[in-house]
């Protein structure tokens, strides 16, 4: 098996050779390697195979991934999207702002080139640890439905998934089929929406304040005007020439 087939671009650390071989022998038909440059093994599994793969990862003597260290949601809505212009920006300003009407059609079409295909917007990533074998693995599963993202709960395999899945549900709106108590974990009672989604406004929809007349805390529509800040960019022009700055 080549390095690319094993899920890593470049050299694979010796400590991962055995794990990669075991995974290819036991789960080659259900795991797809994900290339990365972090020197770690990452695989993708289809949603229908998630529970079966998770069970094998935990129980197989060659794997023994008995601990779920973390599970998190991911929103790939604007993955690979680049809207900022820095060194190429002119006196007209940056290419991103409150309104993008000034951008050309070529810029817009290029900016959304990273928009995910249907069924590839939401994903859940599991970080697994084998305490006995001292090895780690990253597993990713995409939610087939973008409108109602859902995958099976792995609480029956790793008990620590209970709160991790509740967090992913709260922040990303990913539902977990079979979860024993799927409800919000971090946001307030009555919160509407999922704040970590890429299309959720940064300022939110409502704000909280104390009303002295009612003598209690109330919710009201947010009064902050949404705006997009631009990054600080140091341009390579004569103002920053080292010879000129040293003479000041």
Per-residue pLDDT in tens (0 to 9) along the chain, 248 residues:
333 344 444 456 777 888 999 999 999 999 999 987 777 899 999 999 999 999 999 999 999 999 999 999 999 988 876 555 555 554 444 444 433 443 433 343 444 445 668 899 999 999 999 999 999 999 999 999 999 999 999 999 999 999 999 999 999 999 999 999 999 999 988 788 999 999 998 888 888 899 999 999 998 888 887 766 666 665 666 665 666 655 55
What's the CATH number for 1-79+120-192? 3.30.460.80
pLDDT at 43 (0 to 100): 96
Give me the count of residues in the chain. 248
Specify the residue for token string 């060659």.
Answer: 62
b/e map of 88-119 (b: 16 or more CB within 10 Å)? Answer: eeeeeeebbeeeeeebeeeeeeebeeeebeee
Contact predicate 19/13, CB 8 Å: no
Structure tokens given for 43? 């695989």
Cα(62)–Cα(50) distance, integer angstroms: 19
């Amino acid at each position: 098996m080549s390095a690319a087939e094993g899920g890593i671009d470049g050299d694979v650390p010796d400590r991962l050779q055995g794990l990669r071989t075991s995974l290819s022998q036991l789960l080659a038909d259900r795991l797809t390697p994900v290339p990365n440059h972090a020197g770690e093994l990452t695989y993708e599994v289809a949603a229908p195979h998630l529970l079966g793969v998770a069970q094998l990862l935990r129980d197989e003597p060659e794997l023994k991934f008995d601990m779920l260290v973390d599970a998190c949601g991911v929103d790939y809505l604007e993955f690979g999207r680049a809207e900022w212009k820095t060194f190429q920006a002119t006196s007209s300003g940056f290419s991103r702002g409150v309104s993008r009407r000034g951008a050309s059609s070529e810029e817009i079409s290029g900016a959304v080139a990273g928009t995910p295909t249907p069924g590839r917007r939401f994903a859940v990533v599991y970080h697994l640890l084998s305490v006995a074998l001292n090895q780690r693995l990253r597993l990713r599963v995409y939610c087939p439905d973008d409108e109602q993202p859902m995958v099976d709960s792995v609480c029956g395999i790793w008990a620590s998934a209970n709160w991790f899945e509740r967090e992913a549900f709260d922040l990303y709106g990913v539902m977990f089929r079979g979860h024993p108590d799927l409800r919000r974990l971090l946001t307030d009672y009555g919160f509407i929406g999922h704040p970590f989604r890429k299309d959720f406004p940064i300022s939110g929809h409502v704000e909280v304040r104390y009303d002295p007349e009612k003598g209690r805390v109330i919710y009201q529509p947010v009064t902050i005007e949404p705006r997009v800040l631009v990054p600080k960019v140091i341009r390579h022009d004569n103002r920053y020439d080292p010879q000129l700055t040293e003479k000041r």
